[in-house]
Amino acid sequence: WLLIHGQGEEARVIVEGIEERLRRQGHDLSAPTGPPLRLHARDHTPLKEIFHTLFNTYRRRALVGLTLLTAQAFFYNAIFFTYALVLTEFYQVPSASIGWYVLPLALGNFCGPLLLGRLFDVVGRRVMISLTYAVSGVLLTISGYLFQQGVLDVTQQAIAWMIIFFFASAAASSAYLTVAETFPLEIRALAIAVFYAFGTALGGIVGPTLFGQLIDTHERGPVFFGYLIGAALMVLAAVVQAIWGVASEGKSLEEVARPLSQAHD
């Protein structure tokens, strides 16, 4: 990024400092392989080039990113932000005690990426992203059915949500990861912002609104129907990722997506 913006000396100092620190720690840094990159310096990326890159050159990747972020936004916002309503409406949990039941969700959210994160490099992006999305959708369907049948008590329901969010949090985290690393260097941050905004608008606004209305029916059946919608979106995202997702593990970022500033020989 510094090279592209004409700050080559600052880039050299930073990289050499990182390399020297790693050598002092005992790491053997091998010389880079592959042809060198020739970059054109420029101070910004034109909007026309940004939109052409996002929705023409990499339109399949854009579809994958939008699907992943929309599904996780609906899943998270619809379920997490209506969790308190479910507890008070269907389990008669006092408002003052809601926080204790949110703690298991927070624990699942924390442990999911922490324990599963390494597998995204070892097993691979395409497999693990698809797997975590699909498992989240399947578990939501099962727990939603048990909720609709009135089988689960409030403690069992909290445990079920904790397990679901263990996988869903890794899935959601991987969505940001895959958007960040599958687009060219110059527009990576913008790509996350664009797809996050669209995903939140589609899934994050519609989801809580829909679930709020379903809970207002005071019946478990309509709420289960909402869970099925969330589960279907997660499974759809898993399928889209399995078909068009990029297996970027073990590759340089320039190999995954050529920088827009790269000179053509």
Provide the pLDDT confidence category of residue 264 given band limits of 50, 70 and 90: low
Q: What would the pLDDT profile of 125-162 be if each residue is shown by its tens digit?
A: 899 999 999 999 999 999 999 999 999 999 999 999 99
DSSP H or E stretch at residue 128: helix 125-149
Handedness of CA 40, 182, 249, 76 (dihedral sign): positive
Question: First vs last Cα of the chain: how many Å apart?
Answer: 21
Q: Report helix, strand or coil for 108.
A: helix
User: Phi, psi (5° rounding) for residue 39?
Assistant: -115, 145
Domains (ranges, CATH) in the chain?
58-244 (1.20.1250.20)
Q: Write down the pLDDT at residue 35.
A: 75
**Token code pair at residue 264:** 């053509």
Nearest to 58 by CA among 247, 244, 262: 244
Q: Which amino acid appears at position 243 of this protein?
A: I
Answer for the pair 215, 223: CB distance below 8 angstroms, yes or no.
yes
- Looking at residue 28, what is its pLDDT? 85
CA dist., res. 231 & res. 156, Å (int): 20
**φ/ψ bin of 211: left (φ > 0), alpha (ψ from -120 to 50), beta (otherwise):** alpha
pLDDT reading at 265 higher than 60: no
The residue among 261 and 94 whose pLDDT is bigger is: 94
**What is the C-alpha separation between 262 and 265, in angstroms, rounded?**
9
Instruction: Confirm if 138 and 205 have CB atoms less than 8 A apart.
Output: no
Calculate the alpha carbon distances from 10 to 1, 7, 16 in Å. Answer: 11, 6, 10
Q: Radius of gyration (Cα) for the chain, nearest Å?
A: 22
**By the 8 A CB rule, do 237 and 63 touch?**
no
Task: Using alpha carbons, list the distances in angstroms from residue 213 to 103, 223, 227.
Answer: 25, 9, 13
Mean pLDDT of 183-209: 84
CB distance 133 to 71 below 8 Å:
yes
Q: State if pTM tops 0.75.
A: yes
- In whole angstroms, what is the distance from residue 186 CA to residue 54 CA? 12
Residue 80 CA: distances (Å) to CA of 46, 66, 84, 239, 244: 38, 21, 8, 24, 29
Q: What tens digit of pLDDT does each residue of 36-68 get?
A: 778 888 878 888 888 899 889 999 999 999 999
Least confident of 30-44, 135-149, 178-192, 193-207: 30-44
**pLDDT, tens digit, 9 for 90 and up, residues 64-82:** 999 999 999 888 877 777 7
**Phi-psi group of 31: left, alpha or beta (phi > 0 → left; psi -120 to 50 → alpha; rest → beta):** beta
Per-residue pLDDT of 7-23, as tens digits, reads 889 999 999 999 999 99
- 216 residue type, one letter: D
